[in-house]
Amino acid sequence: MSEHQDWNARVVAEFRDNGGTVTEAAPFGRSLVLLHHVGARSGTERVSPLAHVRDGDDTWLVAASKAGAPDNPDWFHNLRAHPEVAIETPDDGTVEVRAEELAGDDRDRAWERFKEMSDGFRGYEAKTSRTIPVVALRRR
């Protein structure tokens, strides 16, 4: 298991053990959702912990920042191939959602909310030349 996979596993375990609160593996508090997605090519089920911004009762926003890497994260490609997914949330339990990539002004407004939430997102934006995608996960 890679260091990244091990860290993700610790975050997922802590999220589940503490009702959606993560403070030991990293200081996320209740700002994460666990995205259940299926590999675009492999068909393998995966779980990725992602920072989110709540956008009303039925929508969770996630940013494909990959810490400012030059390419998008695997989960983003998986959502494009298989947009019907589920998330585990701190407050609403497991929710069936449909992923929709935001574009134009909608994306830009959503991205500003991530930068307001954490300076880390500003740093990710500065590290990469790509436009970081934002995805709306809408309750089905």
Residue 85 DSSP SS3: strand
Task: Provide the pLDDT confidence category of residue 89 given band limits of 50, 70 and 90.
Answer: very high
Q: What is the mean pLDDT of residues 93-120?
A: 97
Residue 4 has pLDDT above 80, yes or no: no
Calpha distance 136→70 (Å, rounded): 22
Q: What length is written for the chain? A: 140
Q: Provide the pLDDT for residue 24.
A: 87
Q: Please count the CA atoms within 13 angstroms of the CA of 86 that sit on its side-chain side.
A: 9
Specify the pTM: 0.95
- Are 64 and 53 within 8 A, CB to CB? no
Sketch out the chain's domains with CATH numbers: 31-139 (2.30.110.10)
